[in-house]
């Protein structure tokens, strides 16, 4: 039977906006020694803004943005939302077909019958597009049409106001903090340094994230747990593998909320250390 204090702990957490799906996760939270975070949407707001457009050849800035937004018209990735927000006129999904979303790389789609690709350098390389590398500070989105390079769009995200406090509270609790991200190393390292994280791995495809989490699980101290916190976009498989999978409730996808063991209702990463403190308190009462 479940000790009564588990209910107290779960109830107490829910009043703080942390949904815990069972007493065993409360226990795992209490024993967490490694907290692994996704970057986009978890430590950063996941709300990108277009900083600048660098068209290739004679293309106009608006053309590059509008074609990219058009190709992304079915995507719910934070990047696609930022492209739509930068358009004077909203894309018409009816013009887009054959959409292929390539996790960790970008989108391929047919727009008015033209083959459009929108994504990172990895995607351009995979498609053999002669793109011009853009070394701007932020996330770079390259756009190609029918094999020709159209230009790059520099977008930037913001670190969540409570992310630094979230990391420092965990460190005070003796928890090692790790960032896993599909974004470029330059952006990832900048954010990790700003937050004072212990470890960062960038440029990861969803499969690489699973491998990293498995390596961390294999290396952890017996009896300790590993928590993974993500927004669920491209990281549902790691949410499932971690001892405690934690999803963002507001921005996160329904699939992530379903796959997660714990949900942070208001997307505040600082709620993790609060929940861990509460979980430890409950365990001391139980044992």
The residues that touch ligand ADP, with contacts defined as CB under 6 A, are 38-40, 72, 75, 77, 79-80, 101, 104-107, 118-120, 139, 141, 181-183, 233-234
Binding residues (CB under 5 A) for Mg ion: these are 38, 40-41, 231, 233
Shortest approach of Mg ion to residue 48 CB, angstroms? 12
Please choose which of Mg ion, ligand ADP, none residue 245 contacts, taking the beta carbon within 5 to 8 angstroms, the exact cut-off set by kind.
Answer: none
Please choose which of Mg ion, ligand ADP, none residue 252 contacts, taking the beta carbon within 5 to 8 angstroms, the exact cut-off set by kind.
Answer: none
Shortest approach of ligand ADP to residue 32 CB, angstroms? 21
Between the CA atoms of 89, 95, 98 and 104, what dihedral angle is there, to the nearest 10 degrees?
-10
Q: In what order do the strands lie in the sheet with 96-102?
A: 49-55, 148-156, 139-145, 114-119, 106-111, 96-102
Please choose which of ligand ADP, Mg ion, none residue 80 contacts, taking the beta carbon within 5 to 8 angstroms, the exact cut-off set by kind.
Answer: ligand ADP
Between the CA atoms of 55, 61, 63 and 68, what dihedral angle is there, to the nearest 10 degrees?
80
Shortest approach of ligand ADP to residue 44 CB, angstroms? 8
Between the alpha carbon of residue 93 and those of residues 103, 108, 217, the distances in Å are 20, 14, 42
Instruction: Identify the active-site residue in 38, 231, 235, 261.
Output: 38
Residue 183 appears among annotated catalytic residues: no
Please choose which of Mg ion, ligand ADP, none residue 273 contacts, taking the beta carbon within 5 to 8 angstroms, the exact cut-off set by kind.
Answer: none
Shortest approach of ligand ADP to residue 153 CB, angstroms? 9
Task: Provide long-range contacts, Cβ within 8 A and 24+ apart, for 188-191.
Answer: 188/39, 190/137, 191/39, 191/43, 191/44, 191/159
Assigned token pair, 67 = 């074609």
With CB atoms as reference, the residue minimizing the distance to ligand ADP is 182
Asked if residues 141 and 120 have their Cβ atoms less than 8 Å apart, the reply is yes
Assigned token pair, 177 = 């903090």
Q: Indicate which residues carry an active-site annotation.
A: 38
């Amino acid at each position: 039977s479940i000790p009564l204090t588990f209910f107290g702990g779960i109830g107490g957490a829910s009043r703080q906006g942390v949904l815990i799906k069972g007493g065993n996760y409360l226990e795992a939270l209490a024993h967490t020694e490694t907290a692994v975070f996704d970057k986009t949407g978890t430590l950063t707001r996941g709300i990108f803004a277009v900083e600048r457009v660098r068209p290739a050849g004679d293309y106009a800035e608006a053309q590059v943005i509008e074609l990219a937004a058009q190709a992304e018209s079915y995507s719910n990735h934070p990047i696609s939302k930022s492209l739509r927000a930068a358009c004077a006129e909203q894309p018409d999904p009816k013009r887009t077909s054959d959409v292929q979303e390539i996790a960790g790389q970008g989108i391929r789609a047919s727009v008015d019958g033209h083959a459009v690709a929108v994504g990172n350098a990895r995607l351009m390389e995979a498609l053999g597009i002669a793109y011009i590398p853009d070394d701007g500070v932020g996330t770079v989105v390259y756009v190609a049409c029918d094999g020709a390079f159209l230009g790059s769009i520099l977008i930037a995200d913001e670190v969540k106001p409570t992310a630094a406090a979230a990391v420092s509270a965990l460190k005070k609790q003796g928890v090692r903090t790790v960032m896993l991200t599909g974004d470029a190393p330059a952006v990832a390292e900048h954010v990790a340094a700003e937050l004072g994280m212990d470890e960062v791995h960038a440029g990861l495809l969803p499969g690489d994230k699973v491998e990293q989490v498995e390596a961390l699980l294999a290396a952890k101290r017996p009896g300790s747990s590993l928590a993974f916190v993500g927004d669920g976009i491209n990281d549902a498989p790691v949410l499932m593998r971690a001892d405690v999978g934690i999803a963002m409730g507001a921005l996160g996808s329904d699939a992530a909320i379903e796959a997660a063991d714990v949900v942070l209702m208001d997307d505040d990463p600082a709620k993790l250390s609060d929940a861990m403190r509460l979980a430890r308190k409950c365990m001391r009462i139980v044992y």
